[in-house]
Copies of this chain bind each other. A is one copy, B any other.
Amino acid sequence: MDTVNRQFRLAARPVGLPQPSDWNLTQEPVPDPGEGEVVVKNQFISLDPAMRGWMNEGRSYIAPVQIGEVMRALGAGEVVASNNADLARGDAVTGLLGVQEYTVTHGNAVTKVDTELAPLPVYLGTLGMPGMTAYFGLLDIGQPKNGEMVVVSGAAGAVGGMVGQLAKLKGAHAVGIAGGSEKCRHIVDELGFDAAIDYKAEQVEAALGEHCPQGIDVYFDNVGGDILDAALAHLARHGRVVICGAISQYNATDAMTGPSNYLSLLVNHATMTGFVVSDYGDRYAEGAREMAEWLAAGKIKSREDVAEGLESFPDTLLRLFKGQNTGKLVLKVA
């Protein structure tokens, strides 16, 4: 093809928050698709907390991005050339498309989606990885029961906002912890949480004591650090802590901080369970179908926070780690 592809490649492994010097913006021609391959013109790139982990050296649930490689990212776009019988020009697809304008990949590596059912960015949020993360993490691990108390941190983010909505859908109470009055207003007024705790303005542990006098039955943690400790201090008997992420820790340059209140698990016969959403790969279809039904029925709401322009990728990624997004953060490429 005769088209230039701009790509963000990892230039160096970040220490702390990623710096501009950790990236190279490079250009190369888009190659013709090989046998079975398609060319996708990327329209939306997903910004997810997990990306910070992918930039680190070392063993994890997925191999790290290598220096010089195009940065790994989920994305959504349109097929502009196809050498694959199952995909045609004009098809909308999602997948690990990377931080770039065009992606040449085997057709098996992308998933065709229906933009009449939901706009493309929703497939990166509610009907994509964050939605599945909330769905399986809360419903399979947390298992909230009618009348129980569910608390979620990072509550104005893509995962957290959905966790609270799903908790309400299951008849539980939902309290969200978020930073700033606007986010707190959003999760209560728009998403239907019962209450919000503004960790920038309130003492989280005291506020949890007020909102959860019977203790927390399910705590869904996206942040780690002091907020995880505060929640542990208020666990109910047989409480379930779901470890989904630890965004407060991902850019730490010191050693990770563990939850010093972990013996609350002991005195409360409570459980802390971690997961990554890919553990549920064989059940995605089930989750996506049910979430799409709830979305169509207006039982859950999807909110996207759309930044513009491929070149703003480094700054947009920082917005995520600085807690400046409300809802699913995506980058509109063109």
Which residues of chain A have a CB within 8 Å of any CB of chain B?
A: 60-61, 224, 229, 243-246, 249, 255-276, 279
Contacts and interface: CB of A to CB of B under 8 A. Distances in A.
A272 B189 CA distance: 35
Contacts of A258: 229, 257-262
20 contacts: A60-B267, A61-B266, A61-B267, A243-B266, A244-B266, A258-B259, A258-B261, A258-B262, A262-B272, A262-B274, A263-B274, A264-B274, A265-B273, A265-B274, A266-B275, A266-B276, A269-B275, A271-B272, A271-B274, A272-B272
Contact of A279 (B229, B262, B269, B273): B269
Contacts of A264: 274
Given A256-B260, A271-B274, 19 more contacts: A61-B267, A224-B263, A243-B266, A244-B266, A245-B266, A246-B266, A256-B261, A256-B263, A257-B258, A258-B261, A258-B262, A265-B274, A266-B275, A266-B276, A269-B275, A269-B279, A270-B274, A271-B272, A272-B273
A214 to B, nearest CB: 14
Chain A interface main SS type: loop
A1 to B, nearest CB: 38
Contacts of A272: 262, 265, 271-273
A307 B266 CA distance: 29
Contacts of A259: 258-259, 262
A98 B280 CA distance: 51
Given A258-B229, A258-B258, A260-B258, A276 B265 contact: no
- Kindly list the 8 A-B residue pairs having the minimum CB-CB distance in the complex, ordered from nearest: A258-B258, A265-B274, A266-B274, A258-B260, A258-B259, A256-B260, A61-B267, A271-B273
